[in-house]
Amino acid sequence: MKSLDLSVVVPLYNEEESVELLHRRISEALQDTALAYEILFVDDGSRDRTLERAAGIADRDPRLRVVEFRANYGQTPAMAAGIDLAAGRVIATMDGDLQNDPRDIPVMLAEMDDDTHMVVGWRKDRQDKLLTRKVPSWIANRLIGKVTGVPIRDNGCSLKLYRASVIKRVPLYSEMHRFIPAMASITGAHVKEVAVRHHARQFGASKYGLSRTYKVLLDLLAIKTIIGFTQRPLLWFGLLAVPFMIGSLVALVAAVIPVFTMVDGELILPFAGTGVLFGALAIFLIMGGALGELIYATGNVDLTEYSRLLAVEPTRAERGKDV
């Protein structure tokens, strides 16, 4: 396949009203830039006429490819499919609901310099409901930044640009699209943040609500484990074990003291019991870490390969073509 400058990946799920307008806006934004680009619409098993309409556009526009999924798999798999199939050297992802503005793509592309592997959008003036969307999102972003060590103001913004060589190697699964910057940071990728426009939703209903908060929290812990593990194997589980080990020691000492001092020993049994239990838990956690080490060693994730890649790419010559 011939090399392209840019691939725009858009996952679509029941967006029949917006698909035509979306395609027109992307085309208008990119036509004047002299970039060799392609658009990938990934239809995530829509139940309305999204696929039909997208296919209709593909008949007219040779730059558009429409990927039809066999079923509804979710936003992350849809993005992963688009990224796997994209031919561009830079891959842009955005939402299909017209809330992102494709005119930001050239602006963000200009920011993609030698040391940058990822440019993420930041919806500065977000057009959403304050209480149910903006406030939880603010808290979530602070939390994600703290936990993952990648302080991005807006993880939820889908408008992001990646160097293909980096993003194609980042494992994307489950609902990881929120954490792509964090995942990519494992590889040592550098991230830039650019303020982007944000429009209020025109068609259809929002597909996200507050109900997924606890899922995000669990996913965040999973990411933390993965990041922690890739950096300091075994230590992460060891760290989890430390509080229980301290608790265990304190309880055991408290249980033993009355034996020598002959003071009233009412609490010997509860202290000894909890001490032994927590000690067992600490050992279990360290064992878990050892097991994780084994899994990690036998798995096929080779991060040194990522680092090598980042070390040689991009070259000066390539940069000239990129922008």
Partner 1 sequence: MSEAQRDVVRYSVIVPVGRRVDYLATLIAEYAEALGSIGAGFELIVVLDGPKRELLEALKSVAGSMPELRVIELARAFGESAALTAGFDAARGGILVTLPAYYQVDPAELPKLLAAAEGEDDLLIAVRWPRASTFLDRLRRGGFHALFKLVSGIEYRDLGCGVRLLKREVAAEIPLYGDQHRFLPALATKRGFRVREVELAQSPKDMFRGRYRLREYLHGVLDVLTIFFLVRFTKKPLRFFGTIGALAAGFGGVFVIVMVIQRAFFGVGLADRPALLLASLLVVLGVQTFALGLVGELIIFTHASDMKEYAVRSIIQGRNSKALQQESKEAAAGGQ
Q: Which is nearer to partner 1, 30 or 83 (CB)?
A: 83
Pattern 72-111, partner 1, x by CB under 8 A: xxx-xxx-xx---x--------------------------
**8 Å CB contact between 35 and 5:** yes
Q: Which is nearer to partner 1, 159 or 229 (CB)?
A: 229
Closest CA to 230 of 189, 190, 187, 191: 187
Number of residues lying near partner 1 (CB under 8 A): 62
Closest CA to 81 of 160, 155, 154, 12: 12
**8 Å CB contact between 314 and 322:** yes
Residues 252-281 contacting partner 1, CB under 8 A: 266-270, 273-274, 277-278, 280-281
Rounded Cα distance between 46 and 179, Å, is: 24
Q: Quick one: which of 86, 112, 172, 255 contacts partner 1 (CB under 8 A)?
A: 172
Q: Which is nearer to partner 1, 298 or 315 (CB)?
A: 298
Pattern 37-56, partner 1, x by CB under 8 A: --------x--------xx-
CA–CA distances in Å: residue 7 to residues 20, 32, 88, 112, 275: 18, 16, 5, 14, 58
Rounded Cα distance between 181 and 318, Å, is: 23
Which residue do the tokens 């000690």 mark? 279
Pattern 301-320, partner 1, x by CB under 8 A: x-------------------
Which residue do the tokens 């838990």 mark? 281
Rounded Cα distance between 321 and 138, Å, is: 37
Q: Quick one: which of 238, 296, 309, 322 contacts partner 1 (CB under 8 A)?
A: 296
Q: Which residues are near partner 1 by CB under 8 A?
A: 45, 54-55, 58-59, 62, 64-74, 76-78, 80-81, 85, 171-175, 214-215, 218-219, 221-222, 225-226, 229, 237, 240, 244, 266-270, 273-274, 277-278, 280-281, 284-285, 288, 291-292, 295-296, 298-301
